[in-house]
Amino acid sequence: MNSASTFRKIIYIVSAALVFGLLFLLTFPDRQKSLVRTEYPVVVLGDSIMGQCRDETAVAAFLSDMLDRPVFNGAFGGTCMALQEDGVPSDYATELLNMVSISKALAADDFGVQQTVRSRREISDYYTDVVDELECIDFQQVEILILAFGVNDYHAGEAVDNPLDPLDESTYGGALRSVLTTLRQTYPHMRILLVTPTYTWYRSNGLTCEEYDTGSVYLEEYVEKELAIAEEFQVESIDLYHDVYPHTVWEDWQIYTEDGIHPNENGRKLIAKIIAKQIEER
């Protein structure tokens, strides 16, 4: 794509966002008054590991059955924990739905920014419905919030941490600290569970997450950072990376995943079982 075409695309994106944003602001008071609040004791936020499947075999659905409690699946495929450094990212819709942005929407009880995904042509079918439902949830009534991010931060080559700025939201560690700080200040009653990424295989190049160089570090280092920050903030963590999926031979990807990354039905049931056990034991 040449520079002129790129510039026109940027102008289109910015203009569409401004128009939609203006319309949203003009109607926001009426929309807020008309919201019908819903109550979910358990909410899952995350990426496609949790969000790609959205039927009765989804992780959230299995978890709901195991806990015998409603569980809302608020996960968006393709999203990161961290902000991206680019001014206008290539996938603008998912940039609105990273966990840093979602946490700020939760703190302000205002999903106006996220509602602008409606003007994006590249969004997944379920994005707008999930944003609408998230906006209606009374998060003061949410007892347990499950956060499951990291694999897309790894794929994007996001820096794991910034030693000069522990709250640098463009890094995985800084974003996670920022999110936990925001959520604790806004919802001190909420029980937060951090769920790490699973082990992954990359069939297109024959590499595992221990071998695939995405430009920063390997997936295990994101996992270790998440576990360390969980301890730092004294929140619960669930390690799905180590000793969950067998990975002694290449063909092991077929046991619990459908493509090497996303869990198959057995994988989703296993993940739900591990989370349910942690919830019920504490």
Residue 63 has pLDDT above 80, yes or no: yes
Residue 124: pLDDT band (50, 70, 90) is: confident
In this prediction, residue 20 carries a pLDDT of 47
Percent of the chain having pLDDT more than 90?
76
Backbone phi, psi, residue 250, to 5°? -55, -40
Residue 118: pLDDT band (50, 70, 90) is: confident
Choose among 12, 107, 98: nearest CA to 47: 98
pTM of the predicted structure, to 2 decimals: 0.86
In this prediction, residue 260 carries a pLDDT of 98
Choose among 176, 183, 114: nearest CA to 148: 176
List all residues 6 or more positions away from 168 whose beta carbon is below 8 Å from its beta carbon: 159, 161, 162, 174, 175
Range 31-55 average pLDDT: 87
Residue 27 has pLDDT above 90, yes or no: no
Lowest-confidence region among 75-84, 191-200, 220-229? 75-84
Give the C-alpha distances (Å, rounded to integers) separating 26 from 23, 30, 111, 132.
Answer: 5, 9, 14, 18
Which CATH code is given to the segment(s) 37-281? 3.40.50.1110
**Cβ 166 vs Cβ 177: under 8 Å:** yes
Question: Which pLDDT tens digit goes with each residue over 69-84?
Answer: 999 999 999 999 999 7
Backbone phi, psi, residue 24, to 5°? -65, -45
